[in-house]
Amino acid sequence: MNTLPFFPSPKQLGWLKAAIFVLALLPFVRMVWLTAAGQLVEPLEFITRGTGDWTLYFLCITLAVTPLRRLSKWNWLIRLRRMLGLFVFFYAALHFTTFLWFDHFFDVAEMWADVLKRPFITVGFIAFVPLIALAATSSNAMVRRLGGKRWQYLHRLVYVIAPLAILHFWWMKAGKHNFAQPILFGLIVALLLGIRVYWRYVKSTAGKPA
């Protein structure tokens, strides 16, 4: 397959990373700005939903890095993955914090009861917990400490997190009989995970007699 030759220098990659960092913060800045300016009719709902949406968008963007890298042969894309993954955690942590703050005023016992009472929130919470482990082990020092293989196994938790995130979204929207977006994101996540499973299958069967 023909690919576009694009190999940024270390300096260009540094600028690209800085630009992505600023762009990734824009949704957060916009949420804070609109809330502070008093321009929102339902600020709490806007922030809870906005942070949930951006968690899902960054999850999809992060999952797209490896397939894009393999298909384009732009190996440098991998250098962006950690930052993008940390933005998944950033927006998920904000999403959780807004829930704990605005819905329960930091009453952890009351929040916990709500998490257990509403299944879509239970699922969101179960998706969030392993995300903490992935963020906590994202540094080079942690890769060295765990060892490459163990680190890779741990980070395969994303195969659990992503479907749970879709289920959380689906369940929430099901209450409103609004399935268009969960179906769209479900298909995107299925494609991004499915292509990895397919490549692993091809690799494991390569060279075996038919």
Phi and psi at residue 69, to the nearest 5°:
-60, -45
Helix (H, G, I), strand (E, B) or coil at 138: coil
**Residues near ligand HEM (CB under 6 A), total:** 24
CA trace torsion 50, 108, 131, 84 (10° rounding): 40
* CA 143/CA 148 separation, integer angstroms: 6
Closest to ligand HEM by CB, 31 or 168: 168
Residue 175 Cβ vs ligand HEM, minimum distance, rounded to whole Å: 8
Residue 74 Cβ vs ligand HEM, minimum distance, rounded to whole Å: 27
Q: Which of 53, 69, 137, 146 binds ligand HEM (CB under 6 A)?
A: 53
Residue with tokens 């630009």: 19
Alpha helices in 37-147 (DSSP H): 43-72, 78-98, 108-117, 119-136, 140-146
Subset of residues 131 to 170 that bind ligand HEM, contact rule: CB under 6 A: 131, 161, 165, 168-169
Residue 137 Cβ vs ligand HEM, minimum distance, rounded to whole Å: 17
**Contact pattern for ligand HEM over residues 55 through 84, marking x by CB under 6 A:** xx--x-------------------------
**Is residue 165 a contact partner of residue 173, using CB atoms and an 8 Å limit?**
no
Residues at the contact surface with ligand HEM, assessed by CB under 6 A: 45, 48-49, 52-53, 55-56, 59, 92, 95-96, 99, 115, 121, 124-125, 127-128, 131, 161, 165, 168-169, 172
